Amino acid sequence: MHPCCVLKFEEAREWVANNLVFDKNVDVNLFESTIRILGGLLSTYHLSRDSLFLEKAKDIGNRLMPAFKTPSKVPYSDVNIGRGTAHPPRWTSDSTVAEVTSIQLEFRELSRLTGDEKFQKAVDEVMKHVHTLSGKNDGLVPMFINTNSGQFTHLGVYTLGARADSYYEYLLKQWIQGGKKENELLEDYMKAIEGVKKHLLQRSQPKHLTFVGELAHGHFSAKMDHLVCFLPGTLALGAHNGLTADHMKLAEALIETCYQMYAQVETGLSPEIVHFNLHAQKGHKDVEIKVPTGGYTSINNVQNPSNPEPRDKMESFFLGETLKYMFLLFSDDIDLINLDKYVFNTEAHPLPIWAPA
């Protein structure tokens, strides 16, 4: 490691040792805290082998456990990490499907490292429950789940964007993490991709871009969240791990679409949401921005290069994810983070793939 990096790491370690205290009367989001804080600590432990980070991971992991004390064992969205209490959002008793099914990699790894099975037991139970639930559409899941009944709610709406996206990502990644032995996870993943092909895939005009739309009560909407650009990477990861070659073909088509979401916009920045044209119209591109605000970076208007209306706000994932992916993409060292040894959590923290039994 470069000397300046060692120095910065030592500074960060000192801050974690002396200033990162979780005994606070504060509500945190279970999902965000798991993927960012717990995932970050576990990853740092593996890359540094410094037990301080594992101790901190164990501390926050224990403080997040009250979220699972619900009638259905499907966790609440919010936890008070000082008081040890948990609750749903003020306006509903529902949790988001993506959130309750995208905490597994981290809790499973925490159990493996500590020898305490309660963390893995809690999150595995959620996956087993979701596996058996009715309300899916050819493997596609609704966006909300009730913490009292354990049933899907707001049925009939299917998207690979916000509130559902990382459910699909974590099906594949848990299967990879566990040494490709947990067949239920793989079955659900493969079924979901077939559901995407059957219900959500369309091609735009005039360039015939393959995109993933949304389904609401049987009606197709040609709307794609930028978040859906996780899917080509996930499909490629599956193909790399021996799944069907046509997943790679679909990944290539979708990543071209994601590129066009930037290339066809005046600033070169993709908006958060894109609407695709299904019918060729003179003077119209494939990509239509019908959303007046909400740029992908923290600017309000991606269509105005001279005045993009900066928001004076940087999202934490820009440092946590974006810059890390850029660094890895442009590195010539294939073993820097080897995809046959590590799996990335949804916040770009590498966790080890468990050795096959």
Question: Which pLDDT value is given to residue 298?
Answer: 64
Annotated binding residues for Ca(2+), as ranges?
346
CA–CA separation, 64 and 347 (whole Å): 18
Alpha helices (runs of H) in the chain, residue ranges in sequence order: 3-19, 30-32, 39-48, 51-64, 97-100, 104-114, 118-132, 165-177, 183-195, 230-240, 245-263, 316-317, 323-329
The answer, yes or no, to whether residue 306 has pLDDT greater than 60, is yes
CA–CA separation, 65 and 59 (whole Å): 10
CA–CA separation, 286 and 278 (whole Å): 8
Q: How confident is the model at residue 336 (pLDDT cuts 50, 70, 90)?
A: confident
CA–CA separation, 58 and 81 (whole Å): 13
Cβ-based neighbours of 240, under 8 Å, separated by 6 or more: 339
For residue 343, list its beta bridge partners: 351
Q: Give me the active site residues, please.
A: 272
Cβ-based neighbours of 238, under 8 Å, separated by 6 or more: 172, 189, 247
Q: What is the dihedral of CA 308, 310, 313, 319, to 10 degrees?
A: 50
Give the rounded percent of residues in the chain with a pLDDT score beyond 90: 76
Q: How confident is the model at residue 6 (pLDDT cuts 50, 70, 90)?
A: confident
Lowest mean pLDDT among 49-53, 82-86, 117-121, 305-309: 305-309
- When the pLDDT of each residue in the chain is averaged and rounded to a whole number, the result is 92
Question: Which pLDDT value is given to residue 293?
Answer: 43
Amino acid at 2: H
Taking the domains of the chain in order of start, what are their residue ranges? Answer: 87-352
CATH topology for the 87-352 domain: Glycosyltransferase (1.50.10)
Tokens at residue 284, please?
């119209």
For 153, half-sphere exposure in the C-beta direction (CA atoms, 13 angstrom radius) is: 12
Nearest to 75 by CA among 31, 135, 108: 31
Nearest to 342 by CA among 331, 334, 351, 332: 351
CA–CA separation, 20 and 161 (whole Å): 33
The answer, yes or no, to whether residue 53 has pLDDT greater than 70, is yes
8-45 pLDDT, tens digit per residue, is 999 999 999 999 999 999 999 999 999 999 999 999 99
Question: Which pLDDT value is given to residue 296?
Answer: 42
Burial of 139 (0-12, 13-18, 19+ CB in 10 A): buried
Give the rounded percent of residues in the chain with a pLDDT score beyond 70: 96
Q: What is the dihedral of CA 326, 329, 332, 335, to 10 degrees?
A: 110
For residues 234 and 168, the answer to whether their CB atoms sit within 8 Å is yes
Annotated binding residues, as ranges?
346
The answer, yes or no, to whether residue 309 has pLDDT greater than 80, is no
What single DSSP character describes residue 356? P
Rounded average pLDDT over 187-211? 97
| pTM score, whole prediction | 0.91
Q: How confident is the model at residue 327 (pLDDT cuts 50, 70, 90)?
A: confident
Rounded average pLDDT over 217-244? 96
The answer, yes or no, to whether residue 331 has pLDDT greater than 50, is yes
CA–CA separation, 290 and 282 (whole Å): 18
Question: Which pLDDT value is given to residue 328?
Answer: 86
The answer, yes or no, to whether residue 220 has pLDDT greater than 70, is yes
Burial of 20 (0-12, 13-18, 19+ CB in 10 A): middle
261-300 pLDDT, tens digit per residue, is 999 888 888 888 999 999 888 878 888 878 444 444 566 7
Lowest mean pLDDT among 91-95, 101-105, 198-202: 91-95
Question: Which pLDDT value is given to residue 317?
Answer: 77
